[in-house]
Structure 1
Amino acid sequence: MSGSANRPVRRRTFVLGAAAAAGTAALSGTASAAAFGWSDDGSNYVVDTGANLVFKVSKTNGDLTSLVYRGTEYQGYGGKNSHIESGLGTSTVSIRQSGSTILISVAYGTLRHYYAARSGENNIYLWTNRADTSVASTRFILRVKAGLFLNDEPDSYTYAPTAIEASDVFAKSDGQTRSKHYSKLRVSDYDYVGWSAGGVGLWIVRSNHEKASGGPFYRSLLRHQSADGGGLYEILHYAQNQTENERFGLQGPYVIALTDGGAPSSSLFPGTLTTSWADSLGISGYVPASGRGRVAGVGITGRNTAYPYTVGLANSAAQYWGSARSSDGYFSVTGILPGTYTLTVFKSELAVYTTSVTVTAGGTTTLNSIAIPSTNDPSGASAIWRINDWTGTPSGFKNADLMTYAHPSDVRAAAWTGNVVIGSGSETSAFPCYLWKGVNSGLLVYFRLTAAQAAAAHTLRIGVTTAYANGRPQVVVNDTWTSAIPSPPTQPSTRSLTNGSYRGNNHTFTYSVPASAWRTDTSQYNVLKINVVSGSGSTGYLSAGTAIDAIDLLA
């Protein structure tokens, strides 16, 4: 939505008696918005967008204390406001109007936070600049009053279920599980998150996440809801199952958008949102479009066209990504801060090519056709048998899809135990996506070899996407040969398998199995036992575990 024709007016409230009471009622949500402008009620700066939105920001700590849309208050639950992290404390808060834009600036130590309103829009634009670790700032949470958007989605726990893990994973009476972690979505899968009910949509449109961490496939909590109220998040840095160091600097804009029930305008989405109107506002760390560059590739060869390909750019200061065109692999990533980046091509979520690129302000770095060497994709290796394809994900394995929005104990999960027979046609769907030391360690895979195959040594590969408590596979073949215990690869140290995420650091374990381990009778099955080993972890689903990408025995 563009600015309205209303003439910008700066409004201040200095009325007495009954008139004062009426003015207070209007700001608290009993009347609709009027002309674009702002006022000071003594405790808050009050901004009227001139559309249907009035919001307040505390002059003391920069909290968002009120969010009134079409006369209804949406902000707050449990006596808490909406804010950065759990609230900043005493801050320096200022406001100024520049034409059709009002900007509220919040300074707390080295942190700077901003709210901007545009005339005639039902949106609030937010930026957050965290310069260092001296200030905790991992999220902005929009707290929403109870009862306005009730639902029973995976990331809700409205129906007072029972806590089953760490006080943030719950089980309902019917055995289904709920948690704020169960969003289903990777960062690259969504542009906005929120709810719609009763002809009103309340959304947070995410930023481009250039100062976040974890890349395009990272998963973090996006919203929650209980009988007490709901929360919508813009995660500035999330440590849960994190694979990268924290980045610092200005993140945003992200947008609180209110609608008449529909989705927010695509003009607000990361990649399409333009904010030239903010170029001269003096936002700390702000870099306009003219100070950014672009990377474009004419194509990518050597792709497996059965899978999507993503091109990511990352360095210690920023991250970006874009999709490669399915027909030829063309890609274009825009809005990049100047610098030198590692460019990575992902087949699904598996890195299959890397190079270095340098981006300049106002320039386009054009890359000739990228050729992915066949040796870079493990799926290209000749195999006697293979369970699943190599994609950097457990997709296709038993329970894999469910685990992005449910706990492993969920009643909808198929049994985590059960053995696998090569040649059955159900090898992948029968193999569990996760293995735990305390749940299903010792899983058996049955397979036959020809006489020629049994006469030679072979390499066994097991690909994993993450691990909990250093869980890793040790293998036994026919109870006659046992592999060494492999060293644990670098993986996140937090929970992962039980809170909706399989994304860690992809790693391939290789085992050189001697010919003496195989059975020479070709009518007999060879038996591969996969154990999960680790000296860490707890019990059950919090015992040491790992997520599986693919398993194969090379020819």
Structure 2
Amino acid sequence: MYLLLLFFALALKPLLVFAGWGYTDDGSNYVIDVGSKLVFKVSKTNGDINSIVYGGTEYQGYSGKNSHIESGLGKSSVTIVSYNSPANLIKVTVTYGTLVHYIVARYGQNNIYLLTNKGDVSVPASRFILRLKPNILPHDSSMSDFYDDGSTAIEATDVVLNSQGYTKSKHYQGSNYGRVMDFDYVGKTTGSVGVWLIRSNHEKASGGPFFRSLVRRSTVEADDLYEILFYNMGHTDPERWGLQGPYVLSFTDDGAPNTALFARNANWSWFDTLGIKGWVADSGRGSISGAGIANMKDGYTYTVALSNTDYQYWGAAKSGGAYSIKRVVPGTYTLTVYKGEYEVYTTSITVNAGSATELSTITPNSDPSDVTAIWRIDGFLNFDSKPYKPTYMHPSDSRLSPWDAGDFTVGVTATSSFPGYMWKDVNNGHLVYFKLTAEQITSGKTIRIGITEAFANGRPAITVNGWTSPLPAASIQGGTRSLTVGTYRGNNFIHSFAVPASAFLTDVTQWNVLKIIVISGSGNAGYLSAGISIDCVDLY
């Protein structure tokens, strides 16, 4: 009788029961145990991660919201499979229209590996959101994205102002996170548990190495961490379709995540045989390397980037100018050399699978500073220290100096007092006073105004004394908010104005007056009026 009862007891147990490692089906979810301290659930209906338990504590969710792609998918096909080789792995595949999303666990690792393949515009998936319970992770009111109690929305619903005049927004990166090339992960630690979202290599993302995008949101009610697949604020590239990832949710016992998980370090060969749609193994990729960059300027970091309609990559040049970029999908790319964040050289190269494309020394041919200027302004108000305040404050923030800082006199006024941003409705009509020698006034000159971003088709026009420039065309920029959501980086553009000699004063003791005016037929009022981010103003 005992043996018969034992037989029936065993027969009634689910087939997928493991001591630790493995998965079970509770009817609504796949329950995955990594065989260490992490257990999580994936909805069989839509692929949401609706429970994340680490060390016995639930971290997932608030207000009925789960962690998921975008704001959640509708009814999807959700399947699960386990592998014994190349390691003990579990893979969940979520298919929703032309989108395929993967959730992968690996034995003994307190990580959730995530990959997303978006096939076209029919599915709104531009980010993965990790939603964490309130009052588990610490909240620091100094963080740029922390919403203080009593704050008031001043722009849409996502930029708020508190009683001190400080502004906060989920769009602001703050001092810890800046350009995408500057960080490998986002997250926090309680002092005993660390929760980290490690970004992918962004080869299918938009905007290149200097792009700033949403990384986290923090309030007294909740915490969100983001992996941005395509960010539509201030974007510079069209959306790229295909596979993005792996990006990794990683739990640690307080410390920072394992650097072996960072996109620039990781060995992802164990994904090669998992049937991931769009996966390109390292054996099917190539690389480039360069001997050097000539005529590098002191005080600047040089970055080399590759881009085409399907992929983007980048790498920082060493002090001597040598550089390399690995794990590049084969194809023809535009190679761009950046001095700081300004492109000073471009060419076309081809990358082949399984081989390195080697380039001889590059000599930049479009560095504006190679032109000897009569005068040049290249330091700007509110951009005088890093991290730049406008990347983590709304332009109206009380901690910023007033944007209408008064007129500028060449050779007298500190360059750091020239406004870095100008708006049609805020600080328009800025004046620059300058003198020329008797020899200099005998011929026409060029005034250049270099911009890094323009909002609502903003562009500069000028007058010099009584002369008025033709009205320039707008540069090509993203069509969304930019200057007010923490980014000054769009498409670099130089507006050049040929000023005739007749425009200058003949009395060399007198000050010539340059007036810079932002023009546009678009935009709204205040800081949402047409505006520009200025990188340099010079005369030669």
> Distance in 1 between the 2:486 and 2:357 partners?
37
In structure 1, what is the equivalent of residue 517 of structure 2?
531
Q: Residue in 1 aligned with 2:285?
A: 292
Partner of 2:245: 252
CA contact (8 A) 2:185 2:198 kept: yes
Residue matched to 2:3: none
Work out whether residues 451 and 493 of structure 2, in 8 Å CA contact, stay in contact via their aligned partners in 1: yes
Matches within 5 A, 1:197-208: 197-208=190-201
Q: How does 1:456-535 map to 2 (within 5 A)?
A: 456-478=443-465, 480-535=466-521
Q: Tell me, in whole angstroms, the C-alpha distance in 2 between the residues paired with 1:213 and 1:258.
A: 28
Q: How much does 1:211 deviate?
A: 0.7
Q: Does 1:125 align with 2:118?
A: no
Kept after mapping to 2: 8 A contact 1:398/1:431: no
Pairing 1:94–2:87 present: no
Give SS of 1:303's match. Answer: coil
Post-superposition offset of 1:215: 0.7
- Indicate which of 311, 317, 327 corresponds to 1:324: 317
CA distance, structure 2, for counterparts of residue 70 and residue 450 of structure 1: 75
Instruction: Identify the residue that residue 346 of structure 1 maps to in structure 2.
Output: 338
Aligned partners of 1:519 and 1:372: how far apart in 2? 36
Partner of 1:105: 93
Distance 2:452 2:351 in 1: 30
Q: Distance in 2 between matches of 1:442 and 1:425?
A: 17
- Equivalent residue of 2:113, what SS? strand
Contact 2:381 2:418 in 1 (8 A): no
In structure 1, give the amino acid aligned to 2:112: I
1:279 corresponds, among 258, 272, 275, to 272
Q: Is the 8 A contact 2:148 2:162 kept in 1?
A: no
Q: Report the CA distance between 1:132 and its aligned residue.
A: 1.2
Shift of 1:474: 1.1
**Distance in 2 between residues matched to 1:383 and 1:14, nearest whole Å:** 84
Which letter maps to 2:198?
V
Moved >4 Å (runs of 4+): 12-16, 393-400
Q: Gapped runs of 5+ residues in structure 2? A: 1-9
* C-alpha distance after superposition, 1:2-59 (max 9, x if no partner): xxxxxxxxxx99669xxxxxxxxxx9xxxxx962111111111111111111111001
Deviations 1:60-82 (A, max 9, x none): 11000111111111111110111
Change (3 A) 1:169 1:396: closer
Post-superposition CA distance 1:283-336 (Å, at most 9, x none): 11111111111111111112213200111001111111111112x111110111
Q: 1:486-541, CA deviations, whole angstroms, 9 ceiling, x for partnerless residues?
A: 11111111111100001111111111111222122222211111111111111111
Q: Distance in 1 between matches of 2:476 and 2:292?
A: 32
Find the counterpart in structure 1 of residue 5 from structure 2: none
1:450 maps onto 2:417 in alignment: no
Q: Provide the C-alpha distance between the structure 2 equivalents of 1:96 and 1:64, rounded to a whole number of angstroms.
A: 17
CA–CA distance in structure 1, aligned partners of residues 433 and 384 of structure 2:
17
Q: Give the structure 1 partner of residue 41 of structure 2.
A: 56
Q: Who is 1:151 aligned against?
A: 140
Q: Distance in 1 between matches of 2:512 and 2:386?
A: 26
Relative distance call for 1:218 and 1:41 in structure 2 (3 A) is: same
Q: Give the distance between the partners of 1:430 and 1:119, measured in 2 at CA.
A: 57
Report the Cα distance in structure 1 between the residues aligned to 2:462 and 2:378, rounded to whole angstroms.
18
Partner of 1:371: helix, strand, or coil? coil
Structure 1 residues 13 and 296, CA gap change in structure 2 (3 angstroms):
farther
Q: Secondary structure at the match of 1:56?
A: strand
- Is residue 394–residue 400 contact of structure 1 (8 Å, CA) maintained in 2? no
Q: Does residue 163 in structure 1 map to residue 153 in structure 2? A: yes
Structure 2 counterpart SS, 1:429: helix
Check whether the contact 1:491–1:505 (CA below 8 A) recurs between aligned residues.
Answer: yes
Q: Does 1:186 align with 2:169?
A: no
Q: Report how many aligned residue pairs link the two structures.
A: 520
Q: Assess, with a 3 A threshold, how the Cα gap between structure 1 residues 470 and 425 changes in structure 2: closer, same or farther.
A: same
CA distance in 2, matches of 1:267, 1:510: 47
Post-superposition offset of 1:394: 9.0
Contact 2:151–2:160 (8 Å) recurs in 1 = yes
| Residue from 89, 103, 124 that aligns with 1:136 | 124
Is the 8 Å Cα contact of residues 76 and 145 (structure 1) preserved in structure 2?
Answer: yes
- Structure 1 residues 396 and 227: CA distance shift in structure 2, 3 A: closer
- What CA deviation, in whole Å up to 9, does each residue of 1:94-138 have, x standing for no partner? 111112111111111121111111111111110001111121110
Please, what is the CA RMSD of the aligned residues?
1.9
Q: Deviations over 1:455-503 (max 9, x none)?
A: 321111100011111111111112x111111111111111111000011
The CA distance in 2 between the partners of 1:539 and 1:371, in whole Å, is 44
Cα distance in 2 between the residues matched to 1:356 and 1:114: 34
Structure-1 residue corresponding to 2:254? 261
2:422 matches 1:423: no
- Does residue 43 of structure 1 match 2:28? yes
Q: Given the alignment, which residue of 336, 359, 363 partners 1:367?
A: 359
What is the aligned partner in structure 2 of residue 408 from structure 1?
395
**Alpha-carbon shift at residue 454 of structure 1 (Å):** 2.3
What's 1:9 paired with?
A: none
Distance 1:274 1:160, change over 3 A: farther
1:151 Cα shift?
2.2
Amino acid of the structure 2 residue aligned with 1:529: K
Structure 1: how far apart are the matches of 2:384 and 2:504? Answer: 26
Assess if the C-alpha contact under 8 Å between 2:381 and 2:416 holds in 1. no
Q: TM-score, normalised by structure 2?
A: 0.93
Per the normalisation by structure 1, the TM-score is 0.91
The verdict on how the C-alpha distance between 1:243 and 1:87 changes in structure 2, with shifts beyond 3 A counting, is same
Residues 398 and 429 of structure 1 are in contact (CA less than 8 Å); yes or no, is this contact kept in structure 2?
no
1:236 maps to 2:222: no
Alignment correspondent of 2:166: 176
> Cα distance, 1:399 vs. partner?
10
Letter in 1 for 2:445: H
